[in-house]
A and B are shown apart, each in its own frame.
Chain A
Amino acid sequence: MSRIVVHGLEKSYGDARVLERVNVVAEAGEFLSLVGASGCGKSTFLRILLGQEQASGGVVVVGDSPIVPQPTPERGIVFQRYSVFPHLTALQNVILVEDFRSGGPFGRVFGVKRKRAREEAEAMLERVGLSHARDLYPASLSGGMQQRLAIAQTLLGRPRVLLLDEPFGALDPGIRVEMHELLTEIWTEHGMTVVMVTHDIGEAFKLGTRVLVFDKVRHDPQFPSAYGATITYDLKLDRKTRASSQDVAKVASMVGTARLDTAVATTASQGRP
């Protein structure tokens, strides 16, 4: 629903350069998978898109205007951890969206509005299969349930851009497949632009319409942090034909993953829809 344009993006922490010369244009409704070696700056890139962190140079445009330098409701985020509020039950976590959006100075909606917010929240929990757990606190939810809750909460904010930082990284493989289905359904339904960071190459190919690889192109052996990472490979996927295993192998080798076999297997096994 929203175009993302990144041009000449740079990011340094003191002397350490993390990102440099990052250029991407993502059309509205695209699903970008970001992969790359650990510590190469994927999360940093995502935090800049979110507005949680400021770029040291370059432009980032979301929609029609440069991004506001702080998180706003047009961008939703799901992190690997710390994505739901531990002091609220599942249902309260989801109602909180409406509380923040139109609750005024109390940060809370009352009366008819609350009733409607509650119904909407219950429907959303039903949607992600958490109806039975609505009165539990996050501490008593499993990792998968917490991530579903985080996704439900984020979706209720109706973001135009959905940012995901290894959202399924801590989940068991079985649960992960379930979450993939959920995410794909939701994305097909809402058509928002998605940017997802992942370490799982198979997941990147399975979900994305486009896979971006972050890596350093320049190296200074004396001073390893002199140069930052940029996008070294940009592969558009066709939802119909799927990626070939050569593509997967190539990306996997660029990222230096040890799990090439599983990556190829995941992608191959799903075959053509």
Chain B
Amino acid sequence: MFLGALPFLVVAVAYLVTSGERLAANPNDKLLPSAVHMWSAFLDLATVPDRRSGDLILWVDTYASLIRLFIGVGAATFIALTLGIAIGFIPRVRALLLPFVTVVCVIPPLALLPILFIALGLGETAKITLIATGVAPVMVRDIANRVIDLPPELVAKAQTLGGNSWTMVLRFVLPQVMPRLLTCVRLALGPAWLFLIAAEAIASTEGLGYRIFLVRRYLSMDVILPYVAWITLLAVMTDWLLVRLSHAVSPWAHPVEGK
């Protein structure tokens, strides 16, 4: 616990020392604002309504970004589950789609961004589609592989107990891939944030990524740094929730460690 906290402390102290030195030399330095300064800027965004729109900017940004992120990742998860199980469990679907999915996996999603903006306009659809198409292929491939790797012995066993394709998916395949699916979602959230911020930076009127790129023009490190910390906090919390969810849904996959 203590050991894990050490690097955080080192970085924080290093920042404070350097920032303190720079501010001592030039009180108007914008590059490394002091902690107090950043905190007050952050509080302003969180509690003081914007003069022009009357919005609490931090919350509007957070809400807009999280909605995009969750819809995008949610859609990708749904696709991964249905398509992944179909590819993994039904040999004919596998023969048809696995090569396609494998190729789609290596397309860099950001290269698709202009296409999406042209095809879908600059609205929400394009951003959500970017996130979904960005993370779905890898998730589909992962789930399909997990299903393919299920021991054939267990499939045969389920059949001898009278399971048909549908009940086997329901009672055997689905619960077996659940832990893997949640791990996939956790891994996908990294790229998903990347695509979200990229899309917001290019075309948006609110959102965490939009804000960062907007205030970059004024070198407002006092906003950018707290925003980055805020995004990190959100990402860590989502990850933690997913781990808890996995424990709740698939207790068998998380055996209690012996003392």
Chain A residues at the B interface, C-beta cutoff of 8 Å: 47, 50, 52, 70-73, 75-77, 79, 81-83, 85-89, 96-97, 99-101, 103, 105-108, 137, 139-140, 153-154, 157, 159
Contact = CB atoms under 8 A, between A and B. Distances in A.
A105 B166 contact: yes
Nearest to B174: A87
A85 B75 CA distance: 29
A82 B160 contact: no
Nearest to A77: B160
Nearest to A154: B160
B174 to A, nearest CB: 9
B100 to A, nearest CB: 27
A170 to B, nearest CB: 14
Interface residues of B, number: 25
A100 B252 contact: no
Given A72-B159, A82-B151, A100-B162, A87 B253 contact: yes
B152 interface: yes
B149 to A, nearest CB: 12
B45 to A, nearest CB: 45
Nearest to A52: B156
B159 A70 contact: yes
B151 to A, nearest CB: 4
A159 B160 contact: yes
B234 to A, nearest CB: 31
Given A100-B162, A157-B161, A50 B156 contact: yes
Contacts of A73: 160-162
A108 B175 CA distance: 14
B153 A79 contact: yes
Q: Main SS of the interface on chain A? A: loop
Contacts of A107: 163, 166-168, 170-171
A71 B252 contact: no
B162 A101 contact: yes
Contacts of A86: 176, 252
Nearest to B151: A82
Interface of B: 151-154, 156-163, 166-168, 170-172, 175-176, 250-253, 255
Given A76-B160, A85-B154, A86-B252, 11 more contacts: A70-B159, A71-B157, A82-B154, A82-B157, A96-B161, A99-B167, A100-B163, A137-B251, A139-B252, A153-B157, A157-B161
Given A87-B252, A153-B161, A157-B162, A81 B167 contact: no
A82 B250 CA distance: 18
Contacts, number: 85
B252 A137 contact: yes
Contacts of B159: 70-72
Contacts of B163: 100, 107
Kindly list the 6 A-B residue pairs having the minimum CB-CB distance in the complex, ordered from nearest.
A107-B167, A71-B159, A82-B153, A82-B151, A107-B171, A100-B162
A140 B254 CA distance: 11
B256 to A, nearest CB: 9
11 contacts: A76-B160, A77-B157, A79-B153, A83-B154, A85-B158, A86-B176, A87-B250, A88-B252, A96-B161, A107-B163, A107-B170
Nearest to B172: A85
A94 B159 CA distance: 15
Contacts of A139: 252, 255
Contacts of B251: 137
Contacts of B153: 79, 81-83
B156 A97 contact: no
B173 to A, nearest CB: 10
A52 B152 CA distance: 9
Contacts of B161: 73, 96-97, 100-101, 153, 157
Nearest to A157: B161
Q: Which of B153, B166, B175, B253 has the most CB of A within 10 A?
A: B153
B127 to A, nearest CB: 36
Contacts of A89: 252
Contacts of A96: 161, 171
Contacts of B158: 85, 100
A75 B162 CA distance: 10
A77 B252 contact: no
A47 B159 CA distance: 13
